[in-house]
Structure 1
Amino acid sequence: MVLAGVLTGCGNGERLERFDGPTMGSHYSIQYVRHSATPGPKAVQAEVENVLAEVDRQFSTYRSDSDIERFNALPADSCLVMPGPVLELIGVGEQLSAQSDGSFDLTVEPLLNLWGFGPQSREEKVPTAEALAQVRQRVGQGHLRIDGDRLCKDAAVEVDFNSIAAGYAVDRIAARLQALGIDSYLAEATGELKAAGRKPDGSAWRIALEEPRDDRQVAERVIEVNGYAVSTSGDYRRYFEQDGARYSHTFDARTGAPVLHNLASVTVIHPSALMADGLSTLLLILGPERGWDYAQKHGIGVFFVLRDGNRFVTRTNDMFERISSGKTQ
């Protein structure tokens, strides 16, 4: 996802501020319209980074002291008190898992590690059938249970929130910006983003969607966003090839293996960055037919990019066209 925006001032006393920094092993960036009643960028940046630090403490799988990694380290038949946001996202994961017949699953981290894509990976390779069968015993959303303020598991499952945590962080940032009196902004974290209002010159926030290439960045399409979040999931950033087959980091929990269809990327527009993040992953897992039918049934605005030999073919639905053209804003 490429963010398009030119920093310009305006004669009405408004100006466009920008700051950015590292987060979640990647990057975040904020643009917002500042006027006399809103704070300066240093104060806003401190608020945003407080939100990001809290999200990291709760959801990171790359630090052993995070809330979810302390849970992941527990054996089967264990429970641990969790903060409300963790339990909230477990609920979202259960919803997406149920709606995908188990294809979407928050407990695929052992599979990611086995295939070489996870935080504890050693080598990217196709595992043996025996190793895959053993690891699949520790995968399954159904092994999780919420008991009051505790998260419990009846198998040694490990939860990975990477498919929804960044979207949740963007929603939190957007809410914080609005609480500071900022109603025109573009907030992005690790590629997930949400935009509201307009720039000082009255123009819309414009977002460039990347063509799913791993060799260079090429804009596939530019859209306008106001009041919506945008999330793109694709198979073109992390993958390996073995014996003529291409294996990406997008997993179908029902098979325990990466998806092998020709849907290269999915972009979702949704009022919630959390849901856009999760739905883009879900639809990519479901593939070009099941994913399209799901989006149409649930009224989700989508932009699909499919591989057709050496070229890409795009497909969008009416909801995506209406939102990205500003007709529903």
Structure 2
Amino acid sequence: MAGAVLRGDEELFTGRFVGFVVLAAFLAACGEGESMESFGGPTMGSTYSIKYVRHAGDADSAQVRSEVEGILAEVDQQLSTYRNDSDIERFNALPANSCQTMPASVLELIRVGEQLSAQSEGSYDLTVEPLMNLWGFGPQGREEKVPDAAALAEVMQRVGHQHLHINGDQLCKDAAVEVDFNSIAAGYAVDTIAARLDALGIHDYLAEATGELKAKGKKLDGSPWRIALEEPRDDQQIAERIIDVDGYGVSTSGDYRNYFLQDGRRYSHTFDARTGAPVLHDLASVTVIHPSALMADGLSTLLLILGPERAMDYAEKHDIGAFLVIRADTGFVIRTSPAFERLSGKKTD
């Protein structure tokens, strides 16, 4: 996964699923004592980037960077499925009928996952890591191929949010399930960073991690943070729509950068937990705008799993700001929910 690529006054962020173009103006006039600060680096197998307007008396950039990187290190220690010593991987290694004391943040994310699972009738599920590995997409995946029916049936015995429960500060399981937070971890990290920036008195910023982002306030020249939503292609980057963002998280999930072909059929890394298989529909990508980057992250994945018709029905029923890109014979078709048109370019209360 790539980091930021500069192109004139545009900056392109690529994440786990899709990129965002942030239309920046770094050479704008500024007030006395104001400056545009920016920094970034590697995180969660990809990159992060922070941009903010520093006013006279604000914390210096070294302190802000230290605070942000401390948050990212903590998220990695708690939620990463790519390190054996993380809190969640130690839980995943436990057998059935086991419990483990967990940080409050992990339990919070389990509850969010339970909510999204219930609302999608089980299609979205945090316990799909064994399926990801079986199909070759997970951290222990060996080969990208369609598994045989017996292997799939065995793994499906270890999938399902109903096998998890919280007992005080412990996370417990009654089957050998494995939790994968990749559909919400980056959004959670962005929300946590945004809260820390607010606490430091920084109120004009764009925080991004692995492509998930949240923007608040204005840029140095007083113009809004502008995000370009990419057309879902793996050969080039083309902006489908540009939106203004102030006070919202934005997340895009797509199926076009992590997939394999077998017998003429395309299999992506987006799974329906009810079937144990990658989704096979024409919805190529989903962008969600939400006050919470965590919820934008999870909902973009949930809607992508549901497919074009069910996703739009869900978005309209739950008043979610959703931007759908659907494959068609002539190219791509765009559908947006009423909430997306209302929220894009407008500020939260």
Task: Point out where structure 1 has 5 or more consecutive residues left out of the alignment.
Answer: none
Mapped to 2, the partners of 1:188 and 1:45 lie a distance apart of 13
2:270 match: 250
2:28 corresponds to 1:17: no
Mapped to 2, the partners of 1:184 and 1:300 lie a distance apart of 25
Mapped to 2, the partners of 1:292 and 1:120 lie a distance apart of 34
2:145 match: 125
Partner amino acid for 1:133?
A
Q: Percent identity?
A: 73
Superposition pairs of residues 1-329 of structure 1, within 5 angstroms: 1-4=19-22, 5-13=24-32, 14-309=34-329, 311-326=331-346
Please report how far the alpha carbon of residue 231 of structure 1 lies from its aligned counterpart in structure 2 after TM superposition.
Answer: 0.3
Mapped to 1, the partners of 2:270 and 2:242 lie a distance apart of 25
Any conservation in 2 of the 1:77–1:154 contact (CA below 8 Å)?
Answer: yes
Task: Spell out, residue by residue over 1:225-266, the C-alpha distance to the aligned partner (whole angstroms, 9 max, x if none).
Answer: 000010000001100011011000000000000000100000
Partner amino acid for 2:292?
S
Any conservation in 2 of the 1:37–1:181 contact (CA below 8 Å)?
Answer: no
Partner amino acid for 1:113?
N
Any conservation in 1 of the 2:114–2:161 contact (CA below 8 Å)?
Answer: yes
Partner amino acid for 2:319?
G
Q: CA RMSD in A?
A: 1.1
Mapped to 2, the partners of 1:74 and 1:325 lie a distance apart of 46
Mapped to 2, the partners of 1:254 and 1:234 lie a distance apart of 20
- Other structure's SS at 1:305 match: strand
Mapped to 2, the partners of 1:328 and 1:44 lie a distance apart of 25
Any conservation in 2 of the 1:226–1:326 contact (CA below 8 Å)?
Answer: yes
Task: Spell out, residue by residue over 1:269-322, the C-alpha distance to the aligned partner (whole angstroms, 9 max, x if none).
Answer: 000000000000000001111111010011101100000025111111221112
Please report how far the alpha carbon of residue 111 of structure 1 lies from its aligned counterpart in structure 2 after TM superposition.
Answer: 0.2
- Other structure's SS at 1:312 match: strand
Mapped to 1, the partners of 2:87 and 2:218 lie a distance apart of 37
Mapped to 2, the partners of 1:87 and 1:316 lie a distance apart of 33
Task: Spell out, residue by residue over 1:98-156, the C-alpha distance to the aligned partner (whole angstroms, 9 max, x if none).
Answer: 00000000000000000010000111000001110011111110000101111000000
Mapped to 2, the partners of 1:317 and 1:327 lie a distance apart of 17
Task: Spell out, residue by residue over 1:31-82, the C-alpha distance to the aligned partner (whole angstroms, 9 max, x if none).
Answer: 0001102122222111100000000000000000000000000000100100
User: After TM superposition, which residue ranges in structure 1, 4 or more long, deviate above 2 angstroms?
Assistant: 8-11, 325-329
- Other structure's SS at 1:299 match: coil
Please report how far the alpha carbon of residue 327 of structure 1 lies from its aligned counterpart in structure 2 after TM superposition.
Answer: 7.0
Any conservation in 2 of the 1:15–1:33 contact (CA below 8 Å)?
Answer: yes
Task: Point out where structure 2 has 5 or more consecutive residues left out of the alignment.
Answer: 1-18
Any conservation in 2 of the 1:214–1:236 contact (CA below 8 Å)?
Answer: yes
After superposing the two structures, state which structure 1 stretch, 276-285 or 313-322, moved more: 313-322
Any conservation in 1 of the 2:226–2:245 contact (CA below 8 Å)?
Answer: yes
Instruction: Give me the TM-score of the superposition, normalised by structure 2.
Output: 0.92
Mapped to 1, the partners of 2:232 and 2:62 lie a distance apart of 35
Mapped to 2, the partners of 1:307 and 1:205 lie a distance apart of 29
Mapped to 2, the partners of 1:257 and 1:310 lie a distance apart of 27
| Number of equivalenced pairs | 329
Any conservation in 2 of the 1:113–1:119 contact (CA below 8 Å)?
Answer: yes
Mapped to 2, the partners of 1:218 and 1:20 lie a distance apart of 24
Partner amino acid for 1:274?
L
Mapped to 2, the partners of 1:319 and 1:142 lie a distance apart of 31
Please report how far the alpha carbon of residue 2 of structure 1 lies from its aligned counterpart in structure 2 after TM superposition.
Answer: 2.2
Mapped to 2, the partners of 1:279 and 1:74 lie a distance apart of 29
Instruction: Give me the TM-score of the superposition, normalised by structure 1.
Output: 0.98
